[in-house]
Amino acid sequence: MSVLLAGAAAALFAIGTYLVLQRKLSRIIIGIGLLTHGGNLLLLTAGRRGLPALIGEGDPSELSDPVPQALTLTAIVITFGVTALLLALAYRSWLLSRDDEVEHDLSDLDILLGRGSHEDDADLLERLEQLDDAEPPASGTDPT
């Protein structure tokens, strides 16, 4: 690996990180794309450069390292699948809120401010008891 490629991978990581830390889902997806490019570059350049890894192309010692290539290839395809899924999330977010902003989770904020969700528990219990009342009291060993 050369300093150039190491620097390129590092720069891709840095730019990708900057984008991933944003609140717009589109930018996060683009950031993930750049991060995977950086990762693939690191992975690939960990192996030796050389002729295409095809038997007969040259002396086996001159061929490039096929192992990281195989890993990278599947990584590229999986990234495509993941990108599709994330884009679907962005699309859904647009359907629901007309934007792809990743909002602050309000229920988490409630917990932080001590407005925990234990009222929900009480609520649930109440409903459970109503359910019990609705059904005829079974004998102690009702298996249902």
Name which position in 98, 119, 122, 130 contacts other proteins (CB under 8 A).
98
Angstrom distances, CA of residue 129 to CA of 49, 55, 140, 144: 70, 73, 17, 17
| Site size toward other proteins, by CB under 8 A | 107
The string of DSSP codes covering 81-128 is HHHHHHHHHHHHHHHHHSS-B----HHHHHHHTT--THHHHHHHHHHH
Min dist CB 115 to other proteins, Å, is 10
Name which position in 66, 123, 124, 127 contacts other proteins (CB under 8 A).
66
Of residues 111-130, those binding other proteins (CB under 8 A): 111-114, 116, 118, 125, 129
- Residues 63 and 88: beta-carbon distance below 8 Å: no
Name the token pair of 116. Answer: 């925990």
Min dist CB 50 to other proteins, Å, is 5
Min dist CB 88 to other proteins, Å, is 4
Residue 29 burial (CB count, 10 A): 19
Name which position in 91, 120, 123, 126 contacts other proteins (CB under 8 A).
91
Name which position in 85, 124, 126, 127 contacts other proteins (CB under 8 A).
85
